[in-house]
Chain A
Amino acid sequence: MSVDPFAPAREIAAAVREGRTTAVAVTRLFLDRIEAIDPVLNAYTEVTAARAMAAAHAIDARKAKGEPLGPLAGVPFAVKNLLDLEGVVTRAGSKINRENAPATRDAVLVERLIAADAVPLGALNMGEYAYDFTGENVHDGACRNPHDPDHMTGGSSSGCGAATGGGLAPISLGSDTNGSIRVPSSLCGIFGLKPTYGRLPRTRSFPFCDSLDHLGPFARNVGDLALAYDLLQGHDAGDHACADRPVEPVSDKLPLGAAGLRVAVLGGHFDTAGMAAAARAVDRVARALGARRTIELPGAAEGRAAAFLITNTESAAFHLNRLRARPMDFDPETRDRFLAGALLPAAWSVKAHQVRRWYAEKAAAVFREFDLLIAPSTPMCAPEIGQKTMELHGKTVPLRPMFGLFTQPISAIGLPVCAVPVPVAGEGGLPIGVQLIAAPWREDRVLRAAAWLEAEGLAHAPLPPG
């Protein structure tokens, strides 16, 4: 059978398991697509074609012997190049890290997908050291939006947005410190899951900000996202922040939909006045989920400011030696931010950690009344590549640090979020998305609600043109 590159990963895996296609045919299809399309999208920084084909042949050989295959049999995936891939240099979007030796072992999350018989296609482009919301990178070139290559993918998991949005990898893995899964999901029109802080192990990934870094999957539909998430779960002692919790599968809960969930829309800091596409997306989702109230998330602005300072100071301290020795080898767009972060008073950082705790307590009180909160993912659809400023509440502000206005307060306190594309709300052929947010450890609720919106036809990953 011919393989549809936009088919759900679960259908591709079923076709491989049932012998209707082979892992080699699927892998070859995606490698051919990368060769044809990636010169425009610039999603990949390294394609591991030999490894992918070897893995695919091994899967087909096991099938020929009658051995059982995993839930992602023959499904290609790709990873943001801050997760280690054996034999690949983990650049983290930088020039400096290119001088490091290739990774000797896959990141834990990569190992878990491979254990399910997924096929690693390669490493994905990203903003330098993950300090980015745009998808631009002076060393590797900008990632380009699959719906219009003149526009941004968003970042810093830019390659994930381009690859999964453009049909170059059904599943991808990225990271989110302040919005780097949710922003590309919104701008590229795909689903992304930022789990609870501490849920998925970051072992053998390159850090940005230890206090706030999350890893998570991207997919083109909720079933694939939930399946990937289920396979990725489980404690690993290699990440000191990883919670020692049992695996809590969600795939079997998706049919519950949004039934019984108490839903509210976030206002206040999340107000979308003057942001037509974001407002439409929130409104459509709120109606579909029966949200009747708009509430404030108390402390959101202060919590967002705390995340800003924690990120700025912690990441700058991490890169201090590189900033001293090789400042001119940084991307200028990140270098100046890191330099500023290094100079900030320690008291601001300590106070930010106090405020983060205070804000988390206030948010917990909200979740005693509501199970699910709706907020925009981004203030607008994808800006044009090269755009430096944007209009926000009547003011012109710098785009790069401000594009996470709506995502940063949520990751600040580690809440689980499913970023859901609502293409009908987009503009000019560009999609936009919303955040579905729940209390810590309730990924089941955000994915159930996302599945409901998908079943209703409101949330889906649009096909790119051509």
Chain B
Amino acid sequence: MPADFDADLVIDANAALLGLEIGPEQRPGVVQFLKLAAQMAALVEAAPIGDTLELDGAFHPVAP
């Protein structure tokens, strides 16, 4: 997790954008899970995948 990761900042910025209300009762739990997600994101970011954009799925056009 980046040392400067600020879960409260993420909540304040994104909850309103998405129309989500996160009250004082939920905030500690949401902060805990945001920090955990940030740790996971750091692992994902560190994977040496190279400068590619190959996703795990391919879109298949739907024929009539």
Q: List A423-448 residues whose CB lies under 8 Å from chain B.
A: none
A413 to chain B, nearest CB (A): 8
Interface size class of A (residues with CB under 8 A): 35 or more
1/0 per residue B20-60: CB within 8 Å of A? 11100010011011101101110111110100111111000
> Once bound together, how far apart are the Cα atoms of A342 and B34, in whole Å?
10
CB of B55 within 8 A of CB of A353, answer yes
CB interface residues, A 29-54, toward B, < 8 Å: none
Selected contact of A357 from candidates B34, B39, B54, CB within 8 Å? B54
B48 to chain A, nearest CB (A): 8
Evaluate contact between A357 and B56: CB separation under 8 angstroms.
yes
Are B10 and A302 within 8 A (Cβ)?
A: no
State the total of A-B contacts with C-beta under 8 angstroms.
108
B5 to chain A, nearest CB (A): 11
Minimum distance in angstroms from B20 CB to a CB of chain A: 6
A-side residues, CB < 8 A to B, are 211, 299, 301-302, 305-306, 308-309, 312, 320, 323-324, 327, 332, 335-337, 339-345, 348, 350-360, 398, 401
B20 contacts which chain A residues (CB < 8 A)?
320, 323-324, 327, 339, 342-343
Interface size class of chain B, counting residues whose CB lies under 8 Å from the partner chain? 20 to 34
Given known contacts A339-B20, A342-B20, A343-B18, A348 and B56 CB-to-CB distance under 8 angstroms: no
Bound-complex Cα distance A348 to B47 (A): 12
The SS class assigned to the B binding surface is helix
Q: What is the minimal beta-carbon distance from B42 to any residue of chain A, in angstroms?
A: 8
Establish whether residues B18 and A355, one from each chain, have CB atoms under 8 Å apart when the complex forms.
no
Closest to B42 in A: A305
Q: Which of B19, B44, B46 contacts A348 (CB 8 A)?
A: B44
Quick one: which of A323, A336, A342, A360 contacts B56, CB cutoff 8 A?
A: A360
Contact of A302 among B18, B29, B47 (CB under 8 A): B47
What residues of A have a CB within 8 angstroms of the CB of B14 in the complex? 342-343
Q: A302-B46, A342-B14, A345-B41 are in contact. List 5 more A-B contacts (CB 8 A).
A: A335-B26, A336-B26, A339-B22, A339-B33, A340-B29
